[in-house]
Structure 1
Amino acid sequence: MLIALLFLAFSLPPYTTLNPQLSRVPSSFPLHYPFLVAHIGFASVAMLTACLQIWPWFRQRYPIVHRRIGRVYVFAGVLPAGVCGLIIGAASPYGPPAAASDVMLAVLWLTFTAVGFRMARKRRFADHRRWMIRSFALTFSIITNRIWGIIFAIALPSPSPAEIAPLGAWLGWTTMLLLAEWWLVERGVGKRRARRAAAAAS
């Protein structure tokens, strides 16, 4: 939550003025800026609500609130942010490699979230948690995107935004998704070991 608040405190101010001249992303088509502002606003909702959704104590103590915030995460966060991201990503001003990454990220983000929501509706909560962990990883991949951008800006000689953006775009979400998959595998292995130990003890 602290990381999300710090990131938003840095990222949001230029867009709260609704002044296209302050945008950190150059426009690539006439309606690019409105879609970008909408994407940033809805994605901010997704980031803040996701922090509460993955908190085990909160989820277990307030299950009804968890469900309600989950609907906000899906319908006022990921769904509109993902659609806007798909539109602006397809016309990325940083070239086809960045556009391909942005489109794939938006499609996977929407898909993971939709599947996770569907699993909850079917009361398949173990599957719901796994898909929502993937969704959470992509929600926060914008932060790792920026971290990779800083790394490449320092490491590359005289880099341009057109060089840094595609690298940061791809590594931002793929590393987060790989980390989520690793965590899910390790968590599953740990649970199986615990069950085997309990069975042996009994």
Structure 2
Amino acid sequence: MNQSNIFAFTKPKSYLRLGFTLFLILFAGKFIIKDALPYFGFEQETFGHYWDFKWALIGHISCGLLALVLGPFQFWKAFRNKYLTVHRWSGRIYLTAILIGTLSSTSLAWTSSIQVNFAWAFGLQGLAFAWITTASMAYISVRRKHIQQHKEWMIRSYVVTFAFVTFRWLNELTIVKNLMPEFVERGPTVIWFCWTIPLLITEIVLSWNKK
């Protein structure tokens, strides 16, 4: 196969990947500006019933944002190859952010969230457990020098990290609100959906690409 044929096959795939990446950046950027950053104004009106638990929420949001921003750099092959030390340290920061974010989420689950109902608290705890589990498996894999497994677990980890963005989007969709007007029903349903379905799709794609 000559070089022109190789480009013919690889370019559409590269453009598709680039387009998907840009979409995720814009999607996450909207979430950061609209939903996350206002909390750093520390106004009681913004926090609502979370005001008494504001520090746990700030820890959760701060670490979630840090993981959300660092994640793409972990997958950037050219950056990783050129700045391997930076890649390793940003990976450590990413994992630490998830650890702190998980502890904050667990605290919120059994303080503010339990005030809504058990299903909402349990759903938040389930997401937190998936978050720390996928990140831990990525860390264990790289420590054992199972690089391919590490890459796959990092993908799963970032899918779960992105669930916080997906939750906000789904929770505010008109069709979802029409189907489930009350948050006591909508919240627990959406919080499970926002990471289980994307993770299932991820598993299908990872398995499909294996030779």
Q: Give the corresponding residue for 1:122.
A: 144
Give me the TM-score of the superposition, normalised by structure 1: 0.82
Structure 1 segments, 4+ long, off by >4 Å, are none
Aligned match for 1:111, one of 113, 129, 133:
133
Distance 2:123 2:77 in 1: 31
**Structure with more helix by fraction:** 2
Distance 1:115 1:185 in 2: 17
Q: Give the corresponding residue for 1:156.
A: 179
Give me the TM-score of the superposition, normalised by structure 2: 0.79
Distance 1:45 1:147 in 2: 19
Q: Give the corresponding residue for 1:195.
A: none
Aligned match for 1:79, one of 90, 99, 104:
99
1:67 matched to 2:88: yes
Residue by residue over 1:7-59, the C-alpha shift from the partner in whole angstroms, topping out at 9 and shown as x without a partner, is 211122321112232116x239x4x2210111101111010001211223322
Work out whether residues 141 and 149 of structure 2, in 8 Å CA contact, stay in contact via their aligned partners in 1.
Answer: yes
Cα RMSD of the aligned pairs, angstroms, is: 1.9
Residue identity matched to 2:63: F
Q: Which moved more, 1:172-181 or 1:134-143?
A: 172-181
Q: Give the corresponding residue for 1:27.
A: 50
Give the 5 Å matches for 1:1-202: 1-23=25-47, 26-27=49-50, 30=52, 32-75=53-96, 77-91=97-111, 92=113, 93-149=115-171, 150=173, 151-153=175-177, 155-156=178-179, 159-188=181-210, 192=211
Distance 2:72 2:29 in 1: 10
- Count of matched residue pairs: 183
Q: Which moved more, 1:125-134 or 1:10-19?
A: 10-19
Work out whether residues 78 and 110 of structure 1, in 8 Å CA contact, stay in contact via their aligned partners in 2.
Answer: yes
Residue by residue over 1:128-157, the C-alpha shift from the partner in whole angstroms, topping out at 9 and shown as x without a partner, is 11111111110001122123211411x327
Work out whether residues 20 and 33 of structure 1, in 8 Å CA contact, stay in contact via their aligned partners in 2.
Answer: no
Q: Percent identity?
A: 27
Work out whether residues 39 and 58 of structure 2, in 8 Å CA contact, stay in contact via their aligned partners in 1.
Answer: yes
Distance 1:148 1:15 in 2: 20
Distance 1:178 1:69 in 2: 27
Work out whether residues 144 and 176 of structure 1, in 8 Å CA contact, stay in contact via their aligned partners in 2.
Answer: no
Q: Which runs of 5+ in 1 are unaligned?
A: 193-202
